[in-house]
Structure 1
Amino acid sequence: MLQRLIIRDFVIVDQLELEFGHGFGALTGETGAGKSILIDALSLVLGERADASVIRAGTERAEITAEFDVAADSALASWLQTNDFDVTTCLLRRIVDQSGRSRAYINGTAATLGQLREIATFLADIHGQNAHHSLLNTEAQRALLDAHASAQELLRDVATAYSTWRQAREARQVAMTDSEAAARERELLEWQVKELAALAFNAEEWQETETEQRRLGNASALLEAATGALAALDEGETAALSTLQHAGARLNELITVDPALIDAAKLFDSAVIQLEESALALRRYQDRLELDPSRLVELDSRIDTVTQMARKYRVPPLELPALLARLTAQLDELSLRADPVALAEREQATEAAYLAVAEKLSALRTKTAKRLSAAVTAGMQELAMSGGQFDIALEALGEGASFGLESVEFQVAANAGQSLRPLTKVASGGELSRIGLALQVIASQANPVGTLIFDEVDVGIGGRVAEIVGRMLRDLGKTRQVLCVTHLPQVAAQADWQWTIIKETRNGTVVSSVRRLDKESRVAEIARMLGGEKITSTTQRHAAEMLGLTE
């Protein structure tokens, strides 16, 4: 649920801090007061694109902060944890500067625009005032059905399978028309694969070769350093180890004379032991170190061969194995192209895989279309379209597409006795608004997010229908937080709480502010919505009656 929204220097809002409640809330105000600015600000913090035009005139930047609650075992908490954000709260912040650049933060940590949009799917669902117009687009109709069916994962599988099938078909067609060029390319690839395979190169062998080559190349210097150190310790005329050992023995003898020597003697003994171990290690190193010129020549030759091969193919030496793998895969593909039977079999197999997953999507769409059609038809009866009928028609395509095996078409009969026809051809503006509203309310019931926002979705309706819409939103508010920007008193009167948006002039600048309405001021606001500028006692009584009906 949305708990708090803070807006600074956004459009005509200078500074606004709002705390939201449960249930159904209505946002009202005169035309042009900026009712939709709150929705625009919330959309921005949920990942909508922005530019410098949203910054209030005379200021340097716009800043929006929204706070949502987080249930401990919710999908939102899981998403925050998976993306390494703090899970105790959900605080979103968006800043837009004069250059049009924006910065985003989740719980105080920098976030991408993509992350904002992703987390938004767990937080709020915004229905815009022109959403019903999208119903005239067949792609939008299909998308709405698929969203209601929660078919996103299945849709991705269908698109992937379709792409694989199309690639297999194109490969067969190309092989049939360009076999001579493919043969030349295959011959080159065979030579390259053979040459790289003969090199028998791998990263571990390369590292060992370089290490051994460096050691042998510097063997003389290494041996000289080890011999010099050993002579200084234990084998030269002035070897230090025997002198130090004698001095240590003498110190230990005198400990009985003065115990104060104990700590110094222990440290001295420890140093002598370390030097003795160093002398042993140097002798072992001398025994292992070889001066092998022939082996050095062999290693130099290997390094030169690998380096020249890498230079020839314009890759670093360590990428030669990956290059061999790529060229081998290309050769396998070309070899397959030379086999029309194998190509045809692969095409058939990928087509079968596509059909299998696409048929699952078709079954899900059929089931969901039946359920959604019945629900919208029932909603139409409530929205003054008695006898009307809504249906989602699925028409099979010739051979399928990336979105499945059928097209989706919304059909409607606005009145009893009429036959179903495409929504684009029969619905009037008011009917389209009511059908769209029914779809949005029904879709919202299936949406798991805690906050539902409706921005003047009641455009084109009035009277008894408006009262029914208000009741629909009030019912939604029993299980969700519902916010609705509305110009209809019948809708606002059904709200559990109400804010009014006011536009005023301060110091010569127009700004918008928000005022929470108590019972008395709600009556005045509903009366204004009913009667306009002149509010009579009759209008006030009517407004009080409307509010009384909801108590």
Structure 2
Amino acid sequence: MTVTDLALMDRVQLGLGEGFTVITGETGAGKSLLIDALGLVLGVRADPGLVRHGASTARVEALFDRVPEPLIAVRELSTGGRSTARLDDDAVTAAALAEQIGPLVEVHGQHDQQRLLDDRRQRDLLDAFGGHDAARSDIATAVDRWRANRSALAELAIDPRELARRLAILEHEAAEIAAARLHPGEAADLRARLSAAQHAEAIARGSAAIREALAGEIARERGGRAGREGGGAREATGIAAREARNIAQLDPRFAAVAERLAGLEAELADVAGDIRGLIEDLDHDPAALAAMHERLSLIYSLQGRYGDDEEAILAYGARAREEAERLLGLDDEREGRVAEGAVLLSDVGRTAGRLSDLRSVAAAGLSASVGQALEGLGFGPDVFQIAVGRRPALADEPAVEVDGDAVAFDATGIDEVAFQLAPNPGEPARPLAKIASGGELSRVALAIKQVLAAADATPVLVFDEIDAGIGGRSADPVGRSLWTLARDHQVLCVTHLPQIAAHADAHFQISKRERDGRTITEIRPLDREGRIVELAHMLGGANGGAAALAGAGDLLDRAEAWRGALAAAS
């Protein structure tokens, strides 16, 4: 990971290997700033105040050795608050960055330890240990189906007077639309006919001219001689067709011409007939015109209330009929929903009961495993317990019957899960939230993480202030636990305890110094001699002398001896 112009870091490069890595340094040197930098490439919200004074942009680049191909994540932050992100060479949003990088890294801090006090978090951890994903999905589905039916039943609870009012309205609307006997396109046809009637005289004059031109029909109607002298186009075409047929008897090439002319004559006759029919259909009767106006007004009135055209009005009427029929059958539907609700609630009870049985079995296993891990962290035997209980339903609360009791439920089942600790011999176990100190909570969180590590696919685990509240006596077991956890994960830990740092596979020191009148943060890897000096400072402060150096060397020796003994035993 390379960090540029972030707070006190002008340019810091950190190469992390496999196993357990610790970062140590004096207070204020910037240990947690590295965690902030990592958070930026994890897509967390960016704070423009992190940009180094005098710089315009801060940049964090992280290379993940992902299988099958490495992945480069980049986040840049400007003083103006603008944030940009890239994955390899592609520009992405911070949300996309979180989606892609989030599954690779899990950060644990004091906030995460406090989450352990939440009973919902405890239940989720128990389910993760037991592998209850399918059972959790089943109960969520069962409860969703029951809730959907209950919502539908609630919608059927209509006041009788309101039901009667709605029925009357729907029946009136459906009857009004049915009585209108609408046809799609009827309004457009009426408008066209009324427009034609309004211009009937002009249409008649024009039509007469067309008929005169086609066949001389007007002249014949007036007693003229257009049939023989100055006839219309149809008669002229007929004469031409007859002449073409006569010529075709002499020259067959004219047969096609005669056929085409005969076709034209027939077509002109059809056109003349169509025009005659259109003229005859013109509405001149005042009563008929009034009826059309009244019909069009009715359609417009229906459009204003039920839809933009005839199709929409008819569809509204169909829906009104269907809804009226549904309301008439409301009692039957309500009875059906009540019966279905009883079946669905019974299914919730059975499904929740199966999950509860699984949780009881898993609680025994997780209690034993975490208890064993806690023994390695300095606790006595049998200090950790998991209670799986059920909350009785209130009088007005939905409930399922379990073993004869009315039990409350939700989409996660019927169980209340409580992690309990009994750190003092002879005292009963009590919920973590009521008894655990900060140091005890840190070790319980670490023990649970260690137990769940085998099922955790997250490759990188980061612990920030895991040692909060932990004293020297408890620190060595914590260091051993982190080293063990790092056999299956890459583990990065920020710590101030030398007992934890001594167990690391790699050790980095963060420090501040002044350069060109500016304070900068540096980070450097430590060899064995450097580690002894750093551990001595952590043991005895900046003035740690020979005794502190000897103690630091002893810490490293004991950590290495412990690892050697493990290797020999395996």
The two structures share one fold, judged by TM-score above 0.5: yes
**Structure 1, residues 380-409: CA drift from partner, whole Å, max 9, x if none?**
222222134211212113320132211111
Give, as a single letter, the amino acid of the residue that structure 2 aligns with 1:92.
Answer: A
> What letter corresponds to residue 469 of structure 2 in structure 1?
G
Equivalences for residues 131-530 of structure 1 within 5 A = 131-151=112-132, 154-155=135-136, 158-176=139-157, 178-182=159-163, 184-185=165-166, 337-339=330-332, 340-397=334-391, 398=393, 399=399, 400-530=409-539
Residues 16-47 of structure 1, C-alpha deviations (whole Å, 9 max, x = no match): 22221111111111111111111122122113
Larger Rg over CA atoms: 2
C-alpha distance 144-502 of structure 1, shift in aligned 2 (>3 A): same
State the alpha-carbon separation in 2 of the partners of residues 317 and 60 from structure 1.
65
The aligned residue for residue 53 of structure 2 is: 57
Residues 176-218 of structure 1 deviation map (CA, whole Å, 9 limit, x = unaligned): 453443554566678889999999xxxxx99xxxxxxxxxxxx
Q: Does 1:33 align with 2:12?
A: no
Output the CA distance in 1 between the equivalents of 2:508 and 2:128. 32
Shift of 1:439: 2.0
Deviation at 1:153, TM superposition (A): 6.1
Distance in 2 between residues matched to 1:431 and 1:183, nearest whole Å: 67
User: Which residue pairs with 2:8 in the alignment?
Assistant: 12
SS for the counterpart of 1:19 is coil
**Distance in 2 between the 1:106 and 1:196 partners?**
61
Distance of 1:435 and 1:395 partners within structure 2:
21
Q: Please say if residues 388 and 415 of structure 1, whose CA atoms lie closer than 8 Å, have aligned partners that are also in contact.
A: no
Q: For the residues of structure 1 that align with 2:178 and 2:353, how far apart are their CA atoms?
A: 44
Between 313-322 and 356-365, report the one with greater CA deviation. 313-322
Relative distance call for 1:327 and 1:533 in structure 2 (3 A) is: farther
Q: Is the 8 A contact 1:307 1:317 kept in 2?
A: no
Instruction: Note closer, same or farther for the CA distance 1:491–1:176 as it changes in structure 2 (3 Å cut).
Output: same
| Inter-partner Cα distance in structure 2 for 1:98 and 1:329 | 62
Whether the 8 Å CA contact 1:25–1:482 is kept in 2: the answer is yes
Q: 1:172 to 1:26 in 2, by over 3 A?
A: same
Change (3 A) 1:67 1:41: same
**1:341 offset after TM fit, Å?**
0.8
- Residue 331 of structure 1: CA displacement? 7.9
1:117 matched residue in structure 2: 98
**Correspondence for 1:541 among 526, 538, 550:** 550
Report deviation, 1:448. Answer: 1.2
* Cα distance, 1:435 vs structure 2: 1.9
2: CA distance between counterparts of 1:488 and 1:344? Answer: 63
Cα drift, residue 433 of structure 1: 2.8
User: Residue 360 and residue 334 in structure 1: after superposition, are their counterparts in 2 closer, same or farther (change >3 A)?
Assistant: farther
- Structure 2 Cα separation of the partners of residues 416 and 516 of structure 1: 43
CA distance in 1, matches of 2:143, 2:385: 28
Q: Tell me whether 306-315 or 119-128 shows the greater mean CA deviation.
A: 306-315
CA contact 2:438–2:470 (8 Å) conserved in 1? no
TM-score with structure 2 setting the length: 0.66
Equivalent pairs: percent with the same residue? 37
TM-score for the superposition, normalised by structure 1: 0.68
CA shift in 2, pair 1:538/1:191, >3 Å: farther
CA deviation map 1:362-387 (0-9, x unaligned) = 34433332221111111222222213
Please tell me whether the aligned partners of residues 57 and 76 of structure 2 are also in contact (alpha carbons under 8 angstroms): yes
CA 1:101–1:417: 2 relative to 1, 3 Å: same
Aligned residue number for residue 102 of structure 1: 83
* Closer/same/farther in 2, CA of residues 342 and 372 from structure 1, 3 Å limit: same
**Pair 1:69–1:357, CA change in 2 (3 A):** farther
Tell me how far apart the structure 2 counterparts of residues 322 and 41 of structure 1 sit (CA, whole Å): 61
Quick one: distance in 2 between partners of 1:181 and 1:173? 15
What SS is found at the alignment partner of 2:488?
Answer: coil
Conserved 8 A contact 1:129-1:454? no
**2: distance between equivalents of 1:8 and 1:197?**
76
Letter in 1 for 2:356: S
Q: Which moved more, 1:359-368 or 1:151-160?
A: 151-160
Change (3 A) 1:358 1:534: same
Three-state SS of the structure 2 residue aligned to 1:454 is strand
Partners in 2 of 1:374 and 1:130 — Cα distance? 26
Following superposition, the deviation at residue 529 of structure 1 comes to: 0.8
Name the CA shift for 1:175/1:37 in 2 (closer, same or farther; >3 Å): same
- Are the structure 2 counterparts of residues 308 and 498 from structure 1 closer, same or farther at C-alpha, using a change threshold of 3 Å? farther
Return the letter of the residue paired with 1:89.
P
Distance 1:500 1:320, change over 3 A: farther
- Which residue in 1 is equivalent to 2:67? 71
Residues 532-541 or 163-172, more deviating: 163-172
Q: How many angstroms apart in 1 are the aligned matches of 2:85 and 2:307?
A: 41
In 2, Cα distance between equivalents of 1:500 and 1:531: 16
Question: In 1, distance between residues paired with 2:311 and 2:6?
Answer: 54
Supply the distance in 2 between the matched residues of 1:315 and 1:364 (Cα, whole angstroms).
59
Structure 2 unaligned spans of 5+: 186-266, 279-297, 394-398, 400-408, 561-570
In 2: Cα distance, 1:147 partner to 1:511 partner: 43
Shift of 1:332: 9.0
How many residues align? The count is 442
Q: In 2, are the aligned partners of 1:63 and 1:94 still within 8 Å (CA)?
A: yes
Residue 91 of structure 1 aligns with which residue? 72
Cα deviation, residue 521, structure 1 = 1.0
Q: State the one-letter code of the partner of 1:349.
A: V
Amino acid at match of 1:394: V
Q: Is the 8 A contact 1:25 1:497 kept in 2?
A: yes
Q: Distance in 2 between matches of 1:15 and 1:318?
A: 71
Q: Structure 1 residue 493: deviation in Å?
A: 0.8
Separation (CA, whole Å) in 1 of partners of 2:313 and 2:82: 42
RMSD: 4.3
Letter in 1 for 2:443: R
1:404 counterpart SS class: coil
Are 1:179 and 1:338, in contact at CA under 8 Å, matched by a contact in 2? Answer: no
Deviation for aligned residue 1:317: 12
13-22 vs 362-371, greater mean Cα deviation: 362-371
Q: What's the CA shift string for 1:120-163, capped at 9, x where partnerless? A: 45311211134322222223322333344454565455445424
Cα distance in 1 for residues equivalent to 2:51 and 2:100: 24
Q: Which residue of 2 aligns with 1:226?
A: none
Alignment deviations for residues 281-338 of structure 1 (CA, whole Å, 9 cap, x no partner): xxxxx9xxx99999xxxxxxxxxx9999999778999999999999999889867754
Determine the C-alpha separation between the residues in 2 that align with 1:95 and 1:307: 62
> Retained in 1: the 8 A contact 2:388–2:415?
yes
Aligned equivalents of 1:92, 1:350: Cα separation in 2: 48
Q: Please, which runs of 5 or more residues in structure 1 have no aligned partner?
A: 73-87, 200-204, 207-285, 295-304
Distance 1:60 1:427 in 2: 46
